[in-house]
Amino acid sequence: MLKVNSLKRTFNQDTAGFQNINLSVKKGEIIGILGTSGCGKSTLLRVLSGLDHNYEGTISIENESNDQIGMMFQEPRLLPWLSVRKNISFGLEKEKRNSNKYKTYLDLVGLTDFENHYPKDLSGGMAQRTAIARALITEPEILLLDEPFSALDAFTKMQLQDLLLSIWQKKKTTMILVTHDIDEALYLCDRIFILKGQPGEVYSEITVEKEKPRTRGGGYLSKQKAHILHLLNVEKKAAGEHQ
């Protein structure tokens, strides 16, 4: 459903960004993009979302149209002067904003009792729930998520990962999730692409065979985590520091 060939986006005479990216994403898959800081993950999502057109290579999306893509960021980016209900409806085209469609999505993210609250009265988790509903109300084919839970505390983060999973189970939305968090990638994703370098390139692709929902910290995920840490050279660096 999404195919990316030889994708490249660099800045200032070939510094940073990413290059040589080839991806093929199937309908309903959750794909993880994992990598160290500065390897071009956010830049890749910006290009895939259509926010940045200055790239080389090709991107082809089935039913090609940018309203088929939803995007969610690390911070909820809500409009402070609009209620939860209006922030969610804001995802829709102007003429559709007065419909009752928001109710389905309010319910989906568990905020039915908060529709008239304003962003200043929401916890971080509730604000991100609102952002999830706003991103999904257009029923995008692909949801792009740029570290959506990284600013949340550990418990809220796990709750929202479970919420995302339950939404995926109901809607089977294709998702591409950029994250620093190996546990998050292993808990949610079907395949994980590890990016390395500056400009970033795909260093490795990991298929997570376990059916979802998965057991956090279970034997299979722990083994995969050790493997990913090894690929990212994290163990070596940590050991080196103690020498």
Ligand X SMILES: Nc1ncnc2c1ncn2[C@@H]1O[C@H](COP(=O)(O)OP(=O)(O)OP(=O)(O)O)[C@@H](O)[C@H]1O
Interface with ligand X (CB under 6 A): 11, 16-17, 35, 37-43, 180
Which is closer to ligand X, CB of 45 or CB of 136? 45
Q: How far is the CB of 194 from ligand X (least distance, A)?
A: 12
Three-state helix/strand/coil letters over 1-64 = CEEEEEEEEEECCCEEEEEEEEEEECCCCEEEEEECCCCCHHHHHHHHHCCCCCCEEEEEECCC
Handedness of CA 149, 61, 50, 36 (dihedral sign): positive
Q: How far is the CB of 55 from ligand X (least distance, A)?
A: 12
Which is closer to ligand X, CB of 16 or CB of 158? 16
The length of the chain is 243
Q: How far is the CB of 229 from ligand X (least distance, A)?
A: 17
Give the count of alpha carbons within 13 A of 32, CB side only.
Answer: 23
Instruction: Return the C-alpha torsion angle 197, 198, 200, 205, nearest 10.
Output: 0
Sheet bearing 15-25, strands edge to edge: 15-25, 2-11, 56-61
Q: How far is the CB of 152 from ligand X (least distance, A)?
A: 16
Which is closer to ligand X, CB of 2 or CB of 48? 48
Which is closer to ligand X, CB of 110 or CB of 197? 197
Query: What are the two backbone dihedrals, phi and then psi, of residue 76, each rounded to the nearest 5 degrees?
Result: -65, -25
Which is closer to ligand X, CB of 16 or CB of 229? 16
Q: How far is the CB of 17 from ligand X (least distance, A)?
A: 5
Q: Give residue 16's Cα distance to chain centre.
A: 21
Which is closer to ligand X, CB of 37 or CB of 243? 37
Q: How far is the CB of 46 from ligand X (least distance, A)?
A: 8
Which is closer to ligand X, CB of 39 or CB of 145? 39
Please state, in angstroms and rounded to a whole number, the distance separating the CA atoms of residues 195 and 204.
Answer: 7
CB atoms within 10 A of CB 232: 19
* H runs (alpha helix) in 83-194: 84-89, 101-108, 124-136, 154-171, 182-188
Q: How far is the CB of 18 from ligand X (least distance, A)?
A: 7
